[in-house]
Amino acid sequence: MESLQNKKERAVFATKFAAVATTVGSAVGLGNIWRFPYEAGIHGGGAFLICYMAFVFLIGVPVLCSEFIMGRQTRSNIFGAYRKLHPRRPWYLAGYIGILASLLILSFYSVVAGWTIEYFTSSFLGNLDFSDTATGHGQFMEMTTGWRPVIWTIIFLLCNFLILAGGVTKGIERVCNVLMPLLFVILIAFCINSFTMPKFQEGLSFLFRPDFSKITPSVLLGALGQAFFSLSLGLGCMMTYASYFSNNTRLGRTAVTTAMLDSLVAILAGVIIFPAVFSFGISPEAGPTLVFEVLPYIFNQLPGGAMWSSLFFLLLFLASLTSTVSMSEISITYFCEEKKMSRRKALTVSSLIALCGGLLCALSFGPLSTVKLGGMTFFDLFDYCSSNICLPAGGMICSVFTGWYIKRSIIQKQMTDHGKYRFRMIGLLVFCLRYVCPTAIFLIFLNSIGIL
């Protein structure tokens, strides 16, 4: 489908479906399928899930709406959006948090996405052997601990580069429109397969039966970080995407649809992973490697396992691409619009920065595993700083800004598509943005550093 161009030559998504598919494409990725199960695993399962869901809907959806409002109203990158809406105060400095977060995330995300390519190629060539736990673990360590992940990380970043070089609407729209529904179908099929696992019930009660005594400050911060990470919030990603929305994309509906689909995918991933974790006797607290150690056992048990495995890792790789494409867009639009670089140059600069960060993270499981800052490897540090600090901080600023400084008439205009639809919850939205979201985020921060 032809994409429309507006007068300023800024690209606009061609259809409403494309806008939703692309937004969901950014939100759904490794965050749901890789990060959610491992975070839930280390933070007590059900207790984590309940906090995560509460944060997605109480904080995530209002902040998502505020990013959408700012993005579409100004049709700019994160810096330009703050500047256009409040030229006299340096709110735009929040943009630096977004750029930093996007580059940190891109660095470690590319490493995990690199693992998906490695798993895809190995299963495709029939080399993935997870017939018993010892062989499986050995194989996983061999893949992730040496220099090999460096190569896959570079390959992944190259793919990201090529998609972005194809332009916003063409590259992203095409991939998302086909991919997202297919990934969803595959996940449902694997969920049904989970029912056949011997420890199916144990897995499900780990995920769905919350033990409230397990809700600690670190669980709250982890769940908040996961909610922001998974919804691609707090760094201007959704703001940048909304700047490409056409004028009849319904913002409220798009925000709620995105949050629902995104959480659904995370829950499906949990339903796939945890019964298998318990059935194969793996610890749910294995951390970032959890999903990559568990999934191959599931595939091994299925008839045509190599085929399923290849298909799944291929889709996961593509889902990661739609997410990295969106996070790269943040720094690219910044370099283009603020630093007046050509798009090609902006893309090259941000890819090179991500490459340096990616190398540090790729080596964190092997040669650099002993290099630790604050007790964390580069990989863990990048993840912690971006997800648990930058994103909630960026989200808090965006929420305060929209709640207090953007005129209600602008919020009204954006949420009703220039009066075309009714939106009855303006009061509630503004109340959440002014009071609920910033206070909740602030309290969780204080709580996690031990002040509360």
Which residues have CB under 8 Å from 341's CB, separation 6+? 335, 349
- Other Cβ atoms less than 10 A from the Cβ of 380: the count is 18
DSSP-derived 3-state class of residue 243? coil
Q: Which long-range contacts (CB under 8 A, 24 or more apart) does 132-135 make?
A: 133/280, 133/281, 133/282, 133/297
Of 235 and 362, which has the nearer Cβ to ligand PFF? 235
- Other Cβ atoms less than 10 A from the Cβ of 191: the count is 16
* Backbone region of residue 6 per phi and psi (left: phi > 0; alpha: psi in -120 to 50; beta: other values): beta
CA-CA distance, 136 to 141, in Å (whole number)? 9
In the complex, minimum distance from the CB of residue 329 to ligand PFF, in angstroms, rounded to a whole number: 8
Tokens of 12: 């606009």
User: Could you tell me the CA-to-CA distances from 404 to 236, 361, 400, 410 in Å, in that order?
Assistant: 18, 39, 6, 12
Of 261 and 430, which has the nearer Cβ to ligand PFF? 261
- Other Cβ atoms less than 10 A from the Cβ of 387: the count is 27
Chain residues binding ligand PFF by CB under 6 A are 26-27, 29-32, 102, 105, 229-230, 232, 235, 237, 323, 326-327
In the complex, minimum distance from the CB of residue 224 to ligand PFF, in angstroms, rounded to a whole number: 14
- Between helices 251-279 and 200-208, what is the axis angle to 10°? 140
Q: List beta partners, residue 45.
A: none
Residues 44 and 219 sit within 8 Å (Cβ to Cβ): yes
Q: What is the DSSP letter of 424?
A: T
DSSP-derived 3-state class of residue 246? coil
In angstroms, the first-to-last Cα distance of the chain is 53
Query: How many residues are given for the chain?
Result: 452
In the complex, minimum distance from the CB of residue 132 to ligand PFF, in angstroms, rounded to a whole number: 31
Using CB positions, name the residue nearest to ligand PFF. 31
In the complex, minimum distance from the CB of residue 187 to ligand PFF, in angstroms, rounded to a whole number: 14
The alpha-helical segments, DSSP class H, found in 280-304 are 290-301
Of 22 and 326, which has the nearer Cβ to ligand PFF? 326
Tokens of 436: 């609920």
Of 317 and 423, which has the nearer Cβ to ligand PFF? 317
CA-CA distance, 48 to 218, in Å (whole number)? 10
- Other Cβ atoms less than 10 A from the Cβ of 217: the count is 16
Q: List beta partners, residue 376.
A: 373
CA-CA distance, 447 to 285, in Å (whole number)? 23
DSSP line for 342-371: -HHHHHHHHHHHHHHHHHHHHGGGTTTTT-
Of 115 and 130, which has the nearer Cβ to ligand PFF? 115
